[in-house]
Structure 1
Amino acid sequence: MIFNPLIIVASELGIRDLSTEPPKPKEQVKAIVTAFKKVGDAGIGSVIVDGVTDDQISELQANGAYTMKTDMSEFGKDHNYRSKSGAERIAATVNKFDRYYTHDIVVAVPDDMPELKPYYMQALMYALSDSDVGIATMVSPLTKEERSNTEIVKAQVDWNSDRIVYPLEGSKVGTLRDIRRDINNFDTDDIYKLVPIHAWRRGPLDRLIQLPPSDREFDEGTDLVRALDAGMRIDVTFVTDNMKVLISPEELIGDEIEG
């Protein structure tokens, strides 16, 4: 597989938990610059940053980022542009930047992920290696505390034993079957933590944003629920915090990924 992904690092991509204090402006700027650098370290695709404040834009440009700015005041708090994975907002950004569909894959990366690793971008591409897959994401192991935490979005996966990700030690690929916050609502104990970074092929992304959101989508906190309910195939790659990269994208084929 050879892709030409566009990676969008976005500020305020999800709905903030109103029970917590909002991040301070300086912390927001630092977070999005850090996310931009980590994604750039992956060496995959083109990276742009969708900021929401002038301070973010100025600091990002000083760090070499190509930037766009979204005016969040245009959307109400319940508008789906501010759903957890933000497909509508990402689609609006990419269609401004790449109206001629030069990029076949769009990746959305939130800026508030301390656990973000550069190899996450590589892992996503392997989940898209089957042409029937319209959307890709990742899952990681759940800790004991996270299993009972309903703020954590969880996933059930059918693993494909034939799809081993050899460049990433211990990784594998499967198909997403269900998404829930409450672990008691699954019919299996083999449950994982959903990593909130998603990749779409352009066609499925366009299709997804034409579909109305469901109540369960807002309950579970991700528009991947909408995609699942619409019958879209979503594949996932298993990742961990300390995964060893055995083969880098550059070692596979220039600056692209092949597999």
Structure 2
Amino acid sequence: MARPLVVIPARMGSSRLPGKALAPIAGRPMILHVLDRALAAAIGPVAVATDSAQIARIVEAAGGRVVITGGDHACGSDRIGEALGALDPAAVHDVIVNLQGDQPDIAPGALAAALEPLEDPLVDIATLAAPAGPGERDDPNVVKLIGAEVAPRRMRALYFTRAPAPHGEGPHLHHIGVYAFRRAALARFTGLPPSPLEIRERLEQLRALEAGMRIDAMILDKAARGVDTSADLQRLREAQDQVERSRR
């Protein structure tokens, strides 16, 4: 049986939407919504890894666990790699789940689904995807997964891109920002420098593929879109407002 640890990497210096971890949604900072979703998934302990004292104070005030990291990490998984020494020095947890801090709308059950590909010993990293929605094929803020089906609702990832790929008629897959690493795979990943394709596409998972690591994705019915832009944030706020109005 896997013993997962969920870690949420968060920083203030997002290039496309600075300070988004603390952007208010329904009156609460986004990072607390992500923390709530991770706790509701109930797959294992949850912590936040951040370089921001402000984020740390807010998470701790809400009762969450935080580790302060350096500020020079190339990606969230590198930040988690640093935090892991403080979070789990005895290496009790054999699976480390990176739930990106801009996923406040992810369904708690999705995190359990992300663990399923790791039942295959050939898989190093597991993730999630879903059919792309209208307009997402051509949106560079929506990452597309190109893969080969290896089992029902499971794909082996061949590539990830911001471009509208693959070419031609047929479905496209929207990649969801969750990674379930075997502990050894995370150690290998963080020991590698950022790769050429990772830098070019600004996608950390390409470092793993370029190093020959295997990533498999479970395919969900619908993607919970992350918050990458101000338009994403506004969309999510409007959706939350509708939920609140329906409860009155």
Could you tell me the TM-score, scaled by structure 2's length?
0.79
Could you tell me which residue of structure 2 aligns to residue 203 of structure 1?
A: 184
Q: Could you say if the C-alpha distance between residues 12 and 140 of structure 1 is closer, same or farther in structure 2, counting changes exceeding 3 Å? A: farther
How far residue 103 of structure 1 moved from its aligned partner, in angstroms, is 0.5
Distance 2:91 2:20 in 1: 35
Could you tell me which residue of structure 2 aligns to residue 183 of structure 1?
A: 164
How far residue 173 of structure 1 moved from its aligned partner, in angstroms, is 1.7
Could you tell me which residue of structure 1 aligns to residue 29 of structure 2?
A: 30
Distance 1:61 1:138 in 2: 29
**Among 102, 106, 131, the residue aligned to 1:112:** 102
How far residue 202 of structure 1 moved from its aligned partner, in angstroms, is 1.0
**TM alignment of 1:1-259, pairs within 5 A:** 2-12=1-11, 15-17=14-16, 20=17, 22-23=19-20, 25=22, 27=24, 30-72=29-71, 75=72, 81-83=73-75, 86-161=76-151, 164=152, 172-184=153-165, 186=167, 189-241=170-222
How far residue 99 of structure 1 moved from its aligned partner, in angstroms, is 2.3
**Over residues 110-145 of structure 1, what are the superposed CA-to-partner deviations in whole Å (9 max), with x where a residue is unaligned?**
222233111111111112110111101111111231
The code of the aligned residue for 2:53 comes to: D
**Over residues 29-76 of structure 1, what are the superposed CA-to-partner deviations in whole Å (9 max), with x where a residue is unaligned?**
71111111111011111111223433433332233212212342xx2x
How far residue 200 of structure 1 moved from its aligned partner, in angstroms, is 0.6
How far residue 87 of structure 1 moved from its aligned partner, in angstroms, is 2.0
Q: Secondary structure at the match of 1:183?
A: coil
Q: Could you say if the C-alpha distance between residues 184 and 118 of structure 1 is closer, same or farther in structure 2, counting changes exceeding 3 Å? A: closer
Q: Could you say if the C-alpha distance between residues 48 and 222 of structure 1 is closer, same or farther in structure 2, counting changes exceeding 3 Å? A: same
Of the two structures, which has the highest relative contact order with CA contacts closer than 8 Å and spacing of 6 or more? 1
How far residue 194 of structure 1 moved from its aligned partner, in angstroms, is 0.9
Aligned-pair identity (%) = 25
Distance 1:178 1:187 in 2: 16
Q: Secondary structure at the match of 2:92?
A: coil
Distance 2:89 2:201 in 1: 31
Q: Which moves more between the two structures, 50-59 or 207-216?
A: 50-59
Distance 2:13 2:198 in 1: 13
Distance 2:23 2:141 in 1: 25
Number of equivalent positions: 222
Distance 1:136 1:236 in 2: 6
**Over residues 199-244 of structure 1, what are the superposed CA-to-partner deviations in whole Å (9 max), with x where a residue is unaligned?**
111111111222222221122222211111221111111123489x
The code of the aligned residue for 1:94 comes to: L
Query: Runs of 5+ in structure 1 lacking a partner?
Result: 76-80, 165-171, 244-259
Distance 1:115 1:47 in 2: 17
Distance 2:118 2:94 in 1: 11
The code of the aligned residue for 1:107 comes to: V
**Structure 1 contact 157–191 (Cα < 8 Å) conserved:** no
**Structure 1 contact 51–57 (Cα < 8 Å) conserved:** yes
Q: Which moves more between the two structures, 111-120 or 126-135?
A: 111-120
How far residue 109 of structure 1 moved from its aligned partner, in angstroms, is 1.2
**Structure 2 contact 125–179 (Cα < 8 Å) conserved:** yes
**Over residues 9-41 of structure 1, what are the superposed CA-to-partner deviations in whole Å (9 max), with x where a residue is unaligned?**
221298431xx5644856397111111111101
Q: Could you say if the C-alpha distance between residues 107 and 141 of structure 1 is closer, same or farther in structure 2, counting changes exceeding 3 Å? A: same
Distance 2:21 2:147 in 1: 37
